Amino acid sequence: MDVHPKPQKKSSRLGNLRNTIMAGVTVIAPLYITFWVIRTLFRLAESISAPLIDFFALRFGHPEFYIPGLAFLLTFFMLWVVGLVAANVVGRRLIRKGRETLAQIPLVRKIYAPVQRLMETMTSSGKGGFKKAVLVEYPREGIWTLGFVAGSVPWENDMEEPADSVFVPTAPNPTTGFMLIVPQSQMRHAAITVEEAFQMIISAGVAVPETLILPEDAKKSGGETSN
């Protein structure tokens, strides 16, 4: 008597159950992660202004005063005001003076200056921002790393091929990473936008853009490395 059909049928049912659950996960997980990120940002924004509201509430004799979302709106308003000041000529001078003061503090300048430059580069829409996303063979041939071209680095000998400074962020936190100086002939255009590249990094490689394709010579590099 053939006893194989029953295990196969059971295995098929388990496979269908797994596929159904995974289909549910693909729908629920992005929604949950999106909600979690928004909630985290909302709470972070509230935590900035909440002490200020509590201070004035206590000062005017209403320590129990609380309006949901008020701290978030106050933080948003503060960011808007700071943005207006930063865009003003006088405001830019004041901010520059403030940064120069912070640069005189040994511990603060080692933290503030690099973070400030990185944030300006990441949020800049002009020539000060990342120019494009590229693929670089790093840390060895056949292994491709996603990076961002930040600027050009000249050679001592003008006859040498041009090189670019490439920022390689860590996943899923793109505010940290390392910098490489790579000859232009050793990098490949990633065929995706800077925003799509950031989305891929933040998702730890899960959200792969459809237009991202490894260069043809990647197979050759991998084959040569394995021999």
Q: Above pLDDT 70, what percent of the chain?
A: 82
Cβ contact 161:173 at 8 Å: no
The pLDDT of residue 87 is above 70: yes
pLDDT value of position 130: 78
Q: Which two tokens stand for residue 47?
A: 């935590």
Task: Give the model's confidence band at 122: pLDDT under 50 very low, under 70 low, under 90 confident, else very high.
Answer: low
Task: Give the model's confidence band at 221: pLDDT under 50 very low, under 70 low, under 90 confident, else very high.
Answer: very low
- The domain segmentation of the chain, as residue ranges, is 132-226
Quote the CA–CA distance of 79 and 87 in Å, as a whole number. Answer: 12
Q: Which single residue is written with the structure tokens 């949950």?
A: 32
Q: What is the pLDDT of residues 12-50, one digit of tens each?
A: 777 788 888 888 887 788 788 888 888 888 888 888 888
pLDDT value of position 125: 54
CATH domain 132-226 topology: SH3 type barrels. (2.30.30)
- Beta-carbon contacts of 225 under 8 Å, excluding residues fewer than 6 positions away, are 140, 141, 142
- Beta-carbon contacts of 192 under 8 Å, excluding residues fewer than 6 positions away, are 133, 200, 209, 211, 212
Per-chain mean pLDDT for the chain: 78
Task: Please give the DSSP secondary-structure letter assigned to residue 184.
Answer: G
Q: What are phi and psi of 74, to 5 degrees?
A: -65, -40
Full-model pTM = 0.47
Closest CA to 206 of 171, 174, 168: 171
Quote the CA–CA distance of 212 and 192 in Å, as a whole number. Answer: 6
Q: Which residue has the higher pLDDT, 86 or 56?
A: 56
Q: 183 - beta bridge partners? A: 163
- Per-residue burial over 72-82, b if 16 or more Cβ lie within 10 Å, else e, is bebbeeeeeee
Quote the CA–CA distance of 134 and 192 in Å, as a whole number. Answer: 9
Task: Please give the DSSP secondary-structure letter assigned to residue 162.
Answer: P
